[in-house]
Amino acid sequence: MAQRKIIHIDMDAFFASVEQRDNPELRGKPVVVGGQPNTRGVVAACSYEARKFGVHSAMPSSRAYRLCPNAIFVAPRIEAYRAVSVVIQQVFWRYASEVEPLSLDEAYLDVSTADILDGSATHIEQSIKDAIFN
């Protein structure tokens, strides 16, 4: 019996990364996707720059603002994230015989029968990461 090779992919800071990709002015800045700080909203996602201040998902937006008053708060654009997710899932299918999406930014990939990159799950994962980045 062949060994199963399952890759778990979770695109950390996905919503914030899409925002930074689509709006170059946001690159390198603390971005918070979610409710505005003067509402009862929460952080859906945040950039790595915002995380340096202690901001994280599911945190009240008002607290995120207190931790990082220079953060740029952006309303979620779910349709944009869905569109990017579709493209990324197409990348997954280039490598995997089965893809089990968990959310827009997370999936399990079965690469047990992959014959590319010597069948190495580690090399396949790196190739997927590079393809998504590009």
Q: Catalytic positions, please?
A: 106
Q: How far apart are CA 107 and CA 102, in angstroms?
A: 5
Instruction: Please give the full DSSP string across 64-126, using - where no structure is assigned.
Output: HHHH-TT-EEE---HHHHHHHHHHHHHHHHHH-SEEEEEETTEEEEE-TT--SGGG-HHHHHH
- Distance, in Å, from the CA atom of 116 to the CA atom of 105, rounded to the nearest integer, reads 24
- Rounded to 5°, the CA angle 110-113-117 comes to 95
Residues 77, 41, 31: CA angle, nearest 5 degrees? 55
